[in-house]
């Protein structure tokens, strides 16, 4: 998760910093805005990672439950024969 936060923060900083330079803003204001962009993108990256992780866990649990149900069904069929 820290990797996602670092990459997100870096992307946020660079995005805001270069856009501030392109519109010819003061360097102090550009750096301040880039700092805020860094924090916001790092936080959003963290949220995205958590959501991605939760979805992966849900899919794995669903697959495990389906596999367990299939095993129980096969055992019941073997017992019936």
Site of tokens 């495990």: 64
Q: Is it the case that residue 1 has pLDDT exceeding 80? A: no
* Average of per-residue pLDDT across 71-81: 83
Q: How many CB atoms lie within 10 A of CB 32?
A: 14
Q: Is it the case that residue 68 has pLDDT exceeding 90? A: no
Angle at 18 between CA 13 and CA 21, to 5 degrees: 125
Dump pLDDT digits (tens) for 7-58: 999 999 999 999 999 999 999 999 999 999 999 999 999 999 999 999 999 9
Taking alpha carbons only, the member of 56, 60, 20 closest to residue 37 is 20
């Amino acid at each position: 998760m820290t990797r996602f936060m670092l990459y997100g923060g870096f992307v946020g900083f660079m995005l805001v910093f270069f856009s501030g330079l392109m519109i010819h803003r003061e360097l102090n204001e550009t750096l301040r805005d880039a700092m805020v962009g860094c924090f916001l993108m790092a936080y959003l990256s963290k949220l995205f990672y958590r959501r991605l992780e939760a979805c992966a866990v849900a899919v794995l649990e669903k697959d495990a439950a389906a596999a367990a149900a299939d095993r129980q069904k096969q055992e019941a069929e073997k017992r019936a024969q």
